[in-house]
Amino acid sequence: MSAVLIGLSLLIVGGALGLLWWDQRRTVAPNDAARRALRHAAYTSAVALACLAGGLLAAVGAGLSGVLGGMGRLVAVLPAAAGALFIVAHAIGDLTWPGPQGRQREADLEVRTVSELTPTGLARWTWTMGALLVVATVAFGLAASGPRTISRVLEVGQTYTLGSFPGWWFGVPVLISTIAVALACAATLRVIAARPAVVGTSSDWDRWLRRRSARRVLRGSQLVACMTLAGMSQFAGTTVRSLGLGDTSGFYATSVSPGYVAVGTIINWLAIHILVAGTLVALVPVRDHAPDPETVVPSTERVAP
């Protein structure tokens, strides 16, 4: 099992690094500074991706193999920890972005805002997934009858309780880590907007490179939110379904509740779809090629004496 996971991890990380290398090679850089910037962006993304893939695969592996049995809270926050590492790696890459060289320097007096640089649809999707995760965690916490259990009333004075359920025992660390990842994501997008412009390139080319960095940060962040949400939902759905099916054998036999079974099944169905959607958003390429340096029309410039 562990050999398969390690092999799969190496395959995914290797494939992603190969994709990054190919993406960097195919981009036409207008000058040396642009080439240096592309290389820096590729290294940053490679390190960030290794952190993310490693963390997520560790979470999946721990969940499937039961290595961290009894440490469910740790498993629950592993995706967020991987996301935090991914975002921190991007932030470090952007904070150490190559600046202008030489004794004579110039800069455009243009305003760059985060909203201009982030793809609108992707940004909305990411924040929506983060908000859904918070709402779902709070809902599971409120539905729980104990820190890690959920109960169903059978008749007056009798309840049927099952665990483990993502109540506040799991919910609190997940909420804290989700908010931390969201804040780190927002801060890193601001760093991307403020990092030095690539010297000697057009404003369009520089914005394209910023847009690409912002897209990578958002893609990783939404994947983390989707994986955590899917995991929590799958966990909750399975327990709710079992609660609905009841225990039809033994002295304390309980009846089947079609309502609970239906709710549990729907939550499980949603979990799978959220995971698939998050993975697709993270992996499916978008058509946003670098502006061709030869076709970029140089803008009129005014420089004060």
Partner 1 sequence: MSVRVRIDLDSPTPQYEQVRAQIAALVSAGDLDDGDRLPTVRALANDLGIAPGTIARAYQELEAAGLVVSRRRIGTLVTAPPRTLVTKAPRDAAAHLAALARVQGLTDQEAHDLLAAALLQHGRTAQPEVAQ
Which long-range contacts (C-beta less than 8 Å, at least 24 apart) are formed by 31-39? Answer: 31/199, 31/200, 31/201, 33/98, 33/101, 33/198, 33/199, 33/200, 33/201, 34/198, 34/200, 34/201, 34/205, 36/98, 37/97, 37/98, 37/198, 37/209, 38/209
Considering only residues 6, 131, 194, 272, which one is a binding residue for partner 1 as defined by CB under 8 A? 194
Is residue 115 involved in binding partner 1 (CB under 8 A)?
Answer: no
Q: Are 61 and 67 spatial neighbours (Cβ–Cβ below 8 Å)?
A: yes
CB of 195 to partner 1, least distance (A): 6
How far apart are CB 188 and partner 1 at their closest, in Å? Answer: 14
Residues 270-299 that bind partner 1 (CB under 8 A): 299
Q: Which of 164, 203, 242, 279 binds partner 1 (CB under 8 A)?
A: 203
- CA 239/CA 244 separation, integer angstroms: 9
Query: For partner 1, which residue of 2, 69, 110, 258 counts as binding (CB under 8 A)?
Result: 110
Report long-range pairs for 6-9 (Cβ below 8 Å, ≥24 apart).
8/57, 9/53, 9/54, 9/57
Span 59-98, contacts to partner 1 by CB under 8 A: 97
Please say whether the beta carbons of 169 and 70 come within 8 A: no
The answer to the question of residue 249 lying near partner 1 (CB under 8 A) is no
- CB nearer to partner 1: give 119 or 196: 196
Residue 112 near partner 1 by CB under 8 A:
yes
Q: How many residues bind partner 1 (CB under 8 A)?
A: 27
How near is the Cβ of 100 to partner 1 at its closest, in Å? 4
Q: Which is nearer to partner 1, 248 or 299 (CB)?
A: 299
The nearer residue to partner 1, 95 or 131, going by C-beta atoms, is 95
In the complex, the residues that contact partner 1 under the rule CB under 8 A are 97, 99-101, 103-112, 193-197, 203, 299-305
